[in-house]
Amino acid sequence: MDSIPANRRLWNRISGTYQRKHDPRIGAAPRLWGMYSIPDAHLGALGDVTGKRVLELGCGAGQWSRALAAEGATVVGIDLSESQLDAAKRAMGVTGATRHPLVQGAAEQLPFAAGSFDLVFCDFGGLSWAPPHLVVPQAARVLARGGRLVFNVASPWFEVCYDEAAARVTTTLQKDYFGLDAVAEGDGATSYQLTYGDWVRVLRGAGLVIDDLIEARPGPGTPNGYNETDPPDWAHRWPAELLWTTHKP
Ligand SMILES: C[S@@+](CC[C@H](N)C(=O)[O-])C[C@H]1O[C@@H](n2cnc3c(N)ncnc32)[C@H](O)[C@@H]1O
């Protein structure tokens, strides 16, 4: 299924509201992962990026990209939505932060030559909003040998416990685990979710080596910046996110 046009429309429509609500938290400090803003310093997923060629898939307003560029990486941010990219451009202007190229395009059709990057990564970006069985081989293609694909997505636990009607994560199973794939986001827009087994098969099928699966655990009472959860410390008890670290041998 081609979700590119509908996802582009969705993100163009919600970009303003999304950035007003979430940008202060996402950009509160460099390298904060996911819905609970867990510092990469605690998780050690990305490592030193100095001098590395880095691609962020679905960079949004570019909070991550700017942080890595400021650390000395050569960063490219790609995103489907021109409104999101405008937000990234504005942020570069406002903060005077290190400038880096922004490219409009789809994670499942990367417009880069093979072997162009040492690190491809995202945080609820292209691996959440484009079909992983298309994006992972593209990411593997544009990685140089020894390069890494690192990405953070919602966990299957989070997805199957999400109660659509109540718009909150619960402690009961709300939907089937087997068959997790496309998640309708309205008007044809789609996000994607895989089972653990499907993630392993998609990553290995693209020739990547899985180095780690980090299940970040926020402390009790850590707020979720995006979703209502019941109980509030849901993610202290169950893994809400999967942070995969892989490399191309
Ligand atoms: C939740 S944001 C992730 C960016 C940032 N990490 C954040 O948390 O705001 C999702 C981003 O993915 C982008 N996106 C959606 N579908 C995409 C696709 N097929 N290819 C590239 N980017 C896409 C959206 O435009 C949006 O900017």
> Which band of pLDDT confidence, cut at 50, 70 and 90, is reported for residue 24?
very high
pLDDT of 110 above 90:
yes
* pLDDT value, residue 98: 72
**Does ligand 1 come within 6 angstroms of the Cβ of 7?**
yes
* pLDDT value, residue 97: 57
Residues 40-78 pLDDT 10s: 999 999 999 999 999 999 999 999 999 999 999 999 999
Retrieve residue 101's tokens.
């190229």
* pLDDT value, residue 96: 60
pLDDT of 115 above 70:
yes
- Pick from 87-96, 120-129, 240-249: least confident: 87-96
pLDDT of 1 above 70:
no
Mean pLDDT of 214-228: 95
Q: Return the higher-pLDDT residue of 97 and 229.
A: 229
The separation between the first and the last C-alpha atoms of the chain, rounded to the nearest angstrom, is 30
Indicate which CATH number applies to the domain containing 69: 3.40.50.150
pLDDT of 95 above 70:
no
Question: For the chain, what is the mean pLDDT?
Answer: 96
C-alpha 217/C-alpha 240 separation (Å) is 8
C-alpha 127/C-alpha 133 separation (Å) is 9
**Total of domains in the chain:** 1
Relative to the CA of 23, which ligand 1 atom is closest?
Answer: 9
Torsion region of 112: left, alpha or beta (phi above 0 gives left; psi -120 to 50 gives alpha): beta
Q: Are 154 and 124 in contact (CB under 8 A)?
A: yes
**Does ligand 1 come within 6 angstroms of the Cβ of 84?**
yes
Backbone angles phi, psi at 231, to 5 degrees: -75, 165
> Between the CA of residue 51 and those of 73, 99, 248, what are the distances in Å?
5, 15, 18
Percent of the chain with pLDDT over 70: 98
| Cβ-Cβ contacts under 8 Å for 21 (sequence gap 6 or more) | none
Residues 197-206 pLDDT 10s: 999 999 999 9
> Given ligand 1 and candidates 57, 84, 152, which is best to mutate, with the most ligand atoms within 8 Å of its CB?
84
Q: Are 216 and 43 in contact (CB under 8 A)?
A: yes
Backbone angles phi, psi at 212, to 5 degrees: -165, 155
**Does ligand 1 come within 6 angstroms of the Cβ of 125?**
yes
Helix axes 196-205 and 132-142, enclosed angle (nearest 10): 40
> Given ligand 1 and candidates 23, 37, 54, 81, which is best to mutate, with the most ligand atoms within 8 Å of its CB?
81
Helix ranges (DSSP H) in the chain: 4-26, 40-43, 63-70, 82-95, 126-129, 132-142, 156-160, 196-205, 234-237
Residues in the chain: 249
- CA-closest candidate to residue 206, choices 244, 242, 248, 243: 248
Mean pLDDT of 124-141: 98
CA gyration radius, the chain: 17
Domain hosting 40: range is 4-247
Mean pLDDT of 229-237: 95
* pLDDT value, residue 99: 86
